[in-house]
Chains A and B, each alone.
Chain A
C-alpha cells in the first residue's frame, strides 16, 4: 500500500462519514418538497447529531455492556463499509481485502448487535423491533447477495473495485441482466434502510416501528451514533448502487487529477439517487409487515432472473 493509496483510502472514509447526514438531509428536503411542505434545512441532520452529542445520556438501570457497546460496533461497521465501497476512486487498499460478500457480512454484524442491544433492556418495543428486523433481514440478505452475483459473474470478481473498473473502463456494453439486478437492489435498499414502504422513518407510532423501535431506548451520544450509522448505511447503499449501476466518472488508479471530477460526479449521482428515493417514498404507502416477505421475495426472484438472463443472453 503506497502513501497515496493510504491517503485516498482515508479521504474516502472521511468523505463517506461526513457526507452521510447531508444525503439524509437532501432526502428529507426532497420528500418535503414533493409533499408540498416547506423543507427543513439541508444541514438539519448535522444539527440533530450535534444536539444529541451534547445531550446527557439516559441509560436503563439494567442495560448491560452489550447495550453500551452496540452503538460503537454499529457505527464502526458502517464506517468500514464506507471505506470499502468505491465512491470516488477504485484504488482502495481496503476494498481489495473485503469483497461484496464481506460487505454483506459487515451489515449482518451491525444488525446482530443492534437487535441484541434492542432486546437487552427488555422493553416490549425493543424485542418487537428486533423480531421484525430479523424477519426483514433474513429475506433481504439473500436477495442482496443474489444482486451482487450478476455483476460478479459479468466481471469474474466479487471485489467491488474490480467490478467498477470493469464496468467503467471497458467498452460500453448493455447488460439486460443488470436491469433486473438494479430493480432488485432498489427494493433491498428500501427494506434494509427502513424506508417506506417497508418501514417509516418519520413515524411516531411505536407499534408500527421496525428500526426506530430498536433504538427507542437510546439517547444522547449513543443515539447520535446510531442515527449517524443509519445515515451512513443509506449513503453506503447508494454508493453500492452507484458503483454497480452508474460507475462512470470515477477516478482511475494513480490519476489524481480526475478526483475533483469524480467528486462532482458523485455529488450529482447522490443527489439524483436521493431525489429518486424521495419520489418512491412519497408515492408509496407503508405496506403491512406480512407483505414484506412477498416484496423481498420479489426482489430475490428478480435478482435470480438477472443471473439467468446473464447465463442465457450474455455468455
Chain B
C-alpha cells in the first residue's frame, strides 16, 4: 500500500499497534526519511540487525498518524547506509550505537565517528550483535580515549562529573564547559552499563523474553513487559483477553504514579526541600506496598506476559486500591499547594532548564518532557490501543518547558492516572486473564509500542525457528531525550544541573542494553 507521498510499498504489520513496514534501498531510505522530516514526521528508533541472511538497518518513524518501519538490507565487507542525523539529530547516537554493536557505518559528511556504547570492554574489531560473536568470550578491558568537544575562550574551563557519582545513581559522565558558574556546553558520555541484553535475547524463546524485557529499565518494567508482549502477540497473531489488557493498563498507570511520586519528592529534595522527599517517599512506599499486597511484586515485575497477565485482581485488593486512590489524591492536593506556594522552591524551578517547543521538536523530544514543552505526544491518546480506547485518559500538556512545568505535569498526571485507575477498577471486564501463547512461525515480526511514564517505549522483534527469538530491539525514550538535556542546561548555572537532570529523570540503562 502507498502511504501519502511516500515512495515505498508498505505492508501492514498486524498487532495492537498497526505498523506499516517496507523494505527499501539506500536511496529510498534517505528519500523517505527526508519526506517524513519535511512534513513534520518524527523519528522513533533506529537500530540494526544481523539475522543471518544479511545485516540490515531499521528505522521507525511516525508520519501521518501511522507508525512506519523501514528496513534496509546492507551488503559488503564494510556495509554502509545513508546518514539521517542531519534530519533527525536524535539519530546521531543511535547510528553510533549501530556501528558499535553491528559494525554498519552511516555514510555522510557530518557523521560523528566516535564510539558511543563501546568503551573498551570489547576489541575495536568485534561487533557484539553480529551472528558470529560469541557472548561467552571475555576480553581484558582497555582504557580508551574519547574526544570531548573542547570549548575555548577566556576563563572557560571544564568540570568533569562521573561516571561514579556521590549518590547511588546510574553511571554517566557529564563534561561541563563553564565560565564561572554559567554552563556554556554540556557533553554527555553514557554507555557505562552495557549488559548485552540484546545479545541475550537471541538465546531465549519468544515466550520467555518478557522477563528480560521487564529488566531493561527497572523503573519501567510494566511498560517494557507490555511492549514486549504486544510485539510477541503480534508475531503470533494472538489477541489477549480483555481482562488481561485492563489489568495491564492498571499496572501501567500504577507504575506511572509510583515513579511520578518518587520524582516529585526528589525534585523537591534537589532544591533543598527535604520535607518533600520525606512526604513523597512515604506516599510512594505505601503505593508500592499495595502493589506487593495486591499483585505480589512491589514494582510489578513479570506480571505482564505474552498471552495475558500473570496474576488476577482479588476483591479485597480492589477495596484497598480504591482507598489508596482517595487518600493519595487528597495528599497530593495538599502537597501541591505547599509546592506552589513555596517561594524558595518556585524560585528554583521556574525558568530553570527551559526547553522551547521549537527546540524540542527539532531535537525529537518525547514523552513527559515533551508534554511539558507543549508537544502533545502521548500514545494513550494519539495511538490508543485497548483498553485506552475505552479509558480515554486526558492528555496533560504544559507550555513552560522548564523544571516547574515538568513538576506541574507530574502532579497533573498523577491525578489523571489516579482517575484512570478508578475507571479501570470500575470497568474491569470479567473473564480469563491469559490465553495460551502459541509458537509463532519462523520469521514473524511484531512491534510493541507503549507509553511508559517517561515516554514511548518501542520493542521490535523477529522470531527464529521453533519459537526462538532472532532479534529483539527494545528502544527507550531516553535515546531521544538525553540530547535535549544537553541543550536544557545551556545558560543555566552548574548547581542547577542536578535539578534539571532530575526533572527529566532519564534512563541510563534503557539506552545502553
Contacts and interface: CB of A to CB of B under 8 A. Distances in A.
Interface string A32-68: 0011110000000000000000000000000000000
Given A205-B167, A208-B498, A200 B161 contact: no
A36 B278 contact: yes
A274 interface: no
Which of B160, B165, B271, B347 has the most chain A CB within a 10 Å cutoff?
Answer: B271
B204 interface: no
B344 A290 contact: no
A286 B498 contact: no
Interface string B403-445: 0000000000000000000000000000000000000000000
Interface residues on A, range: 20 to 34
Contact of A286 (B167, B272, B279, B282): B272
Nearest to A32: B278
Contact of B496 (A36, A202, A203, A288): A288
Contacts of B278: 35-37
Contacts of B160: 124
Contacts of A37: 278
A101 interface: no
B495 A285 contact: no
Given A205-B166, A289-B493, A284 B344 contact: yes
Nearest to B159: A124
B62 to A, nearest CB: 35
Nearest to A284: B344
- At the interface, is chain B mostly helix, strand, loop or mixed? helix
Given A124-B158, A128-B159, A289-B181, A200 B166 contact: no
Contacts of A291: 347
Interface string A198-221: 001011111110000000100000
B496 A285 contact: no
B340 to A, nearest CB: 13
Given A197-B344, A208-B498, A288 B158 contact: no
B272 A207 contact: no
Given A204-B166, A288-B495, A35 B348 contact: no
B251 interface: no
A36 B344 contact: no
Contact of A285 (B159, B342, B498): B342
Contacts of B347: 285, 287-288, 291
A285 B345 contact: yes
Contact of B181 (A196, A200, A202, A290): A290
Contacts of A203: 272
Contact of A36 (B167, B279, B494, B495): B279
A5 interface: no
Given A204-B167, A291-B347, A196 B495 contact: no
Contacts of A207: 159, 161, 494-495, 497-498
Nearest to A124: B159
Contacts of B296: none
A290 B348 CA distance: 11
Interface in B147-166: 158-161, 165-166
Interface in B180-196: 181
A290 B181 CA distance: 9
Contacts of A284: 272-273, 344
B40 interface: no
Interface in A275-304: 282, 284-291
A236 to B, nearest CB: 24
Interface of B: 158-161, 165-167, 181, 268, 270-275, 277-279, 282, 342, 344-345, 347-348, 493-498
Given A207-B161, A208-B270, 18 more contacts: A128-B159, A197-B344, A200-B272, A205-B498, A207-B494, A207-B495, A282-B275, A284-B273, A284-B344, A285-B271, A285-B344, A285-B345, A287-B348, A288-B496, A289-B181, A289-B493, A290-B181, A291-B347
27 contacts: A31-B274, A35-B274, A35-B275, A35-B279, A36-B275, A124-B159, A124-B161, A128-B494, A196-B272, A197-B272, A202-B274, A203-B272, A204-B165, A205-B498, A206-B161, A207-B497, A208-B270, A208-B495, A285-B268, A285-B272, A286-B271, A286-B273, A288-B495, A289-B181, A289-B493, A289-B495, A291-B347
